[in-house]
Amino acid sequence: MESDLPTRAQPRSTMIVTFTSAVLQAVGAGTKEYTIVYGVLFYFFFIHPLVSPSNIIAHLNITVDNTSALFNDHRDILIAEEMRLTELRADVLTLIREDREASQQVSVTSAHSLMIYAFEKKNTWKKALQYDKDINELKARMEIILLKDAEEHGRLLVERHRVSRQGIFARAGQFFSVM
């Protein structure tokens, strides 16, 4: 018989939903357990995000590094995007610092400290998502600029080739007309 209880192989969000639905089925509405389960659900889905701020910041940091590498490879073409990339790098470093400070300042015994910690984590999470969106937009703009440059370069090569072939044919025509 297959159990409805969560397993380690399931993602965290699935485990939470499976566990809480099992508890809600086992107890009646309006009981203390029912209220606790809804409190836990509220905490995990609204106060504490399913993806931790630290994971989002790490992903954001990797994205900024990749975008920086793309910029460094094509610095001469993308010079206009340099300031925004530098600003986003500074924002990511600020988020990392704020996240570490919040983790060090929390006191498990103080409810006020825990509320401030939860608020700071939520703000860090929101900022990281916004910065991730910004860096992805910047990277997309940079890729479009690079594609336009490659397209222009390709067209110039084709035009040069066409002109040089016409010159060769013209010289060949002169050569054969002399004979």
Q: Tens digits of per-residue pLDDT, 146-161?
A: 899 889 988 988 888 8
**For residue 98, how many other CB atoms are within 10 A of its CB?**
17
pTM: 0.57
pLDDT, position 74: 84
Q: Please say whether the beta carbons of 106 and 117 come within 8 A.
A: yes
The backbone region for 11, taken as left when phi is positive above 0, alpha when psi lies in -120 to 50, beta otherwise, is beta
pLDDT tens, 84-103? 888 999 999 999 999 888 88
Strands in the chain per DSSP E: none
The end-to-end CA distance of the chain, in Å, is: 97
The mean pLDDT values, 10 residues at a time, for the chain of 179 residues are 50 63 68 70 62 79 87 82 88 91 82 83 87 91 89 88 71 58
Estimate the crossing angle of helix 12-26 against helix 32-42, to 10 degrees: 160
Residue 73 Cα distances to 66, 78, 85, 87, angstroms? 11, 9, 14, 19
CA 61 to chain centre: 8
Q: At 173, list the tokens.
A: 């025509």
Give the integer Cα–Cα distance in Å for 5 and 3: 5
> DSSP letters along 74-93, please?
TTTT-GGGHHHHHHHHHHHH
**For residue 59, how many other CB atoms are within 10 A of its CB?**
14
Question: In whole numbers, what is the pLDDT of the chain averaged over residues?
Answer: 77
**For residue 135, how many other CB atoms are within 10 A of its CB?**
23
